[in-house]
Amino acid sequence: MKIFRHYVGLPTVVLALAEGGLFLLAMYALGFVGQCQSCYFDDVVDFELWEAVLITGTFLLIVTAAGLYNRDAFLDFRLFVQRFAFASQLVLIPTVFIVGILKSAADLPFGWYIGILTVAIALFFIAIFTLRVLLFWTFSVDLLKRRVVILGQGRLADMVANYVDNEGSSHLRCVGRLAQGQSATSPTISLGNIVARAKPFARPAPYARMAESLHAEEIVVATEDRRGLPVEELLRCRLQGIQVTDYLAFWEREAGQIDIDHVGAGWLAFAEGFRLNLARRAVKRTLDIVFSAIFLVVSFPMMLIVAALIKLDSKGPALFIQDRVGLDGKVFKVFKFRSMRVDAEHDGVPRWATEDDDRTTRVGRFIRKTRIDEFPQVINVLKGDMSFIGPRPERPFFIEQIRKEIPFYDLRHRVRPGITGWAQVNYRYGASIADSKKKLAYDLYYVKNSDALLDLAILLQTARVVVSGHGGR
């Protein structure tokens, strides 16, 4: 379903509503028990409705930041268990700490409140875990899955089919493939291993009847050659309430990226999005100034400690200053904590960072893995060279190489580069032109669909990336 121009899988929406409702119910039950006159404790939880809704929203933000609503958490049960354990601690520890302080300040029995809260939160997460296990089973029997028919043959159709059968299996199901033949007058329809010749398009609608008989909700047109497409058939399908989606729109919606191998300037020019208006830029810039100033003040003591550790670990300055390409292709000086030896590029030739790069120092490996090396870039945000959220700024040397290999690369320079971004939370550090191409697919998605909701999603996912060290080099 579509929420503020962004598509969210129906299972994700159902799960969030179920878990949010369960959280509200748990607070009500805990408050009810706390008001028991014969119990040793009372008023464990006593919230107004708006307070309960606000706390429930905070809970949903926490589990979202832990990655429990990501597609991979629906597909990989082991990954779900890891993130579930992390999310439970994110909820348990702050709750017990804050409530414990408040109760102690009110001269109330600290131990009982801590104990009852710990038990209550543990029971709640056991219920959540049980719900997830049941939903894993439910999704495997196709409940809530969107029934998709693929129209086309060849590589694009195979890509969609593989995506639906593998990565997208949590909310999509391919119920048939309609393969167009060599001519518009002799199409074929394939369902699994059965291939049948259909009547010409001028006669009664075979595609519409087939899609309706399969109870299809969407037809994905995945063909490179649009000549001879059954336009009247597709229109009939739309009039019957079946959504018709072209491959590029489907891939953007489901994969959260733009397929730059098949997109053209015409599609980018006419597609919805790219709303880089002055009002949004002004609001985002204001927020960048406010939050970068706050972040500098709060993190300054820790940054001093990191700088001292870098100096003790290896010779050279604590800060690393380097040219990067920013908004509208302008070059600026980026600030980072130094994570490599000072002679990392002793011959003057820029090199990509690699997995377990031997040029990194001991402290450098840690701060790169946890993204602490990026903290001084807040200075660039305050100066206006960067934003908190946007495409990662690249070095001019690599930009010249990438432009020759990858189309539309300069589109990412239409927004300010960011400390974190859609590509950073979905893909590892770039170590080659091939990596840059994959990251550009995410960067173009961000430039096209950038809004406050997407920025919030990126911030939440950044917390998970920083804690887990995902994608660090």
For residue 288, how many other CB atoms are within 10 A of its CB?
22
User: What's the mean per-residue pLDDT of the chain?
Assistant: 80
Is residue 214 in some structural domain?
yes
- Which residue, of 224, 255, 286, is where some domain finishes? 255
Whichever domain contains 168, its CATH number is 3.40.50.720
Ramachandran assignment for 469, one of left (phi > 0), alpha (psi -120 to 50 degrees), beta (any other): left
Q: What is the DSSP letter of 472?
A: -
For the record, the structure tokens of 447 come out as 């430039």
State whether 292 and 188 are in the same domain. no
Q: Please tell me whether residues 169 and 284 are part of one structural domain.
A: no
For residues 91 and 18, membership in a common domain is answered with: yes
Q: What is the mean pLDDT of residues 417-426?
A: 92
Tell me the per-residue pLDDT of 376-390, one tens digit each, with 9 for 90 and over.
999 999 999 999 999
Summarize the confidence of residues 393-416 as an average pLDDT: 90
Point out the least confidently predicted range of 103-112, 125-134, 160-169, 269-278: 103-112
The pTM score is 0.79
Residue 265, in any domain of the structure: no
In tens, the pLDDT along 151-194 reads 888 889 999 988 888 755 567 888 888 876 433 344 455 544 44
Shared domain for 342 and 238, answered yes or no, is no
Instruction: Report percent pLDDT > 70 for the chain.
Output: 78
**Count of Cβ atoms closer than 10 Å to residue 326 Cβ:** 22
Structure confidence at residue 44 (pLDDT): 54
Strands (E), 83-210: 146-151, 172-178, 188-191, 194-197
Question: What b/e sequence results for 375-395 when a residue is b if at least 16 CB atoms lie within 10 Å of its CB, and e otherwise?
Answer: bbbbbbbbeebbbbbbbbbbb
For residues 114 and 166, membership in a common domain is answered with: no
Under the banding of pLDDT at 50, 70 and 90, the label for residue 94 is confident
Residue 359 lies in a domain: yes
Domain boundary among 140, 165, 196: 140
Q: Answer whether residue 270 is part of any domain.
A: no
Mean per-residue pLDDT for 198-207?
Answer: 49
| Same domain, residue pair 448 and 309 | yes
Domain stops at, among 255, 286, 303: 255
Range of the domain at 22: 2-140
**441-463: average pLDDT:** 89
232, 340: one domain: no
Average pLDDT of span 55-61: 85
Q: Are residues 229 and 371 in the same domain?
A: no
Q: How far apart, in whole angstroms, are the C-alpha atoms of residue 460 and residue 101?
A: 27
pLDDT the model gives residue 118: 77
Do both 377 and 424 map to the same domain? yes
pLDDT of residue 31: 61
Q: What confidence category does residue 417 fall into, taking pLDDT thresholds of 50, 70 and 90?
A: very high
pLDDT tens digits for 253-297? 888 899 998 888 888 888 888 877 788 889 999 999 999 999 999
Least confident of 38-47, 76-85, 247-256, 378-387: 38-47
- Quick check: is 182 in a domain? yes
Tell whether 263 is covered by a domain.
Answer: no
> Nearest 10 degrees: CA dihedral of 327, 333, 334, 338?
160
What does 147-184 look like in DSSP terms, one character per residue? Answer: EEEEE--SHHHHHHHHHHHTTTTTTEEEEEEE---SST
CB 18 within 8 A of CB 10: no
- Which are the contacts of 239, defined by CB distance < 8 A and separation ≥ 6? none
> Collapsing DSSP states into helix, strand and coil, what is residue 257?
coil
The per-residue pLDDT for 80 is 83
Q: How confident is the model at residue 142 (pLDDT cuts 50, 70, 90)?
A: low
Are 113 and 152 members of one domain? no
Q: Are residues 414 and 351 located together in one domain of the fold?
A: yes
Highest mean pLDDT among 274-283, 325-334, 429-438: 325-334
25 and 168 assigned to the same domain:
no
User: Residue 335 is inside which H or E element, if any?
Assistant: strand 331-337
Q: Is residue 128 pLDDT above 60, yes or no?
A: yes
> Where residue 463 falls among pLDDT bands split at 50, 70, 90?
confident
Task: Report the DSSP pairing between strands 172-178 and 146-151.
Answer: parallel
Split into its structural domains, the chain has a count of 3
For the four alpha carbons of 294, 297, 299 and 300, in that order, the dihedral sign comes to: positive
